[in-house]
Amino acid sequence: MFDVEQQPDLAFSKPVVGPYSSPFGLKRFFNGEPRNPHSGLDIAAPTGTPIQAPAAGKVVLTGDFFFNGNVVYMDHGQGVISMFCHLSEIKVKQGDVLDKNQILGKVGATGRVTGPHLHWSVSLNNVRIDPMLLLPKETQAE
């Protein structure tokens, strides 16, 4: 049974099948003014595409937020937190313990977005890291 105190399995799997549409750290501009660099990795996929847990973990929060839309937060252990944004459907609830590859929701376009995609952020002790670093080499080029 997964426990949030355990060491995370850092060999993650790609949570959604689809092309990467916006990399982590991309510098963005709005009306010519710099904004915060992109805090996650975007994967483009049609609304309704299943999102699989990239690693085992516990659902620590779900909600519907203005910018991020329907969101699921997962704790993979030892302060490694995934955030999945813009979901069309949330299939889990707070407190659920998920196996790797278990479906947690579906891709959507909720919140402030222009089209359906998964925005996936990973933070390590509150510092955002590039989720790509946790994915196997063969899925980094897709």
Shorter beta-carbon distance to Zn ion: residue 42 or 75: 42
Calpha distance 4→61 (Å, rounded): 14
Contact 104, 74 (CB under 8 A): yes
Please choose, out of 11-19, 36-44, 58-66, 130-138, the segment that lies near Zn ion by the rule CB under 5 A: 36-44
Residues in the chain: 142
Q: Does 106 bind Zn ion (CB under 5 A)?
A: no
Residue 24 CB, nearest approach to Zn ion (Å): 9
Q: Does 42 bind Zn ion (CB under 5 A)?
A: yes
Calpha distance 23→29 (Å, rounded): 15
Cross-strand partners of 59: 74
Residue 2: strand, helix, or coil: coil
Question: 96, 94, 116, 98: which is closest to 107 by C-alpha?
Answer: 116
Q: Does 83 bind Zn ion (CB under 5 A)?
A: no
Q: Does 58 bind Zn ion (CB under 5 A)?
A: no
Interacting residue with Zn ion among 14, 106, 119, 128 (CB under 5 A): 119
Q: Does 128 bind Zn ion (CB under 5 A)?
A: no
Which residues sit at the interface with Zn ion, rule CB under 5 A?
Answer: 40, 42, 119
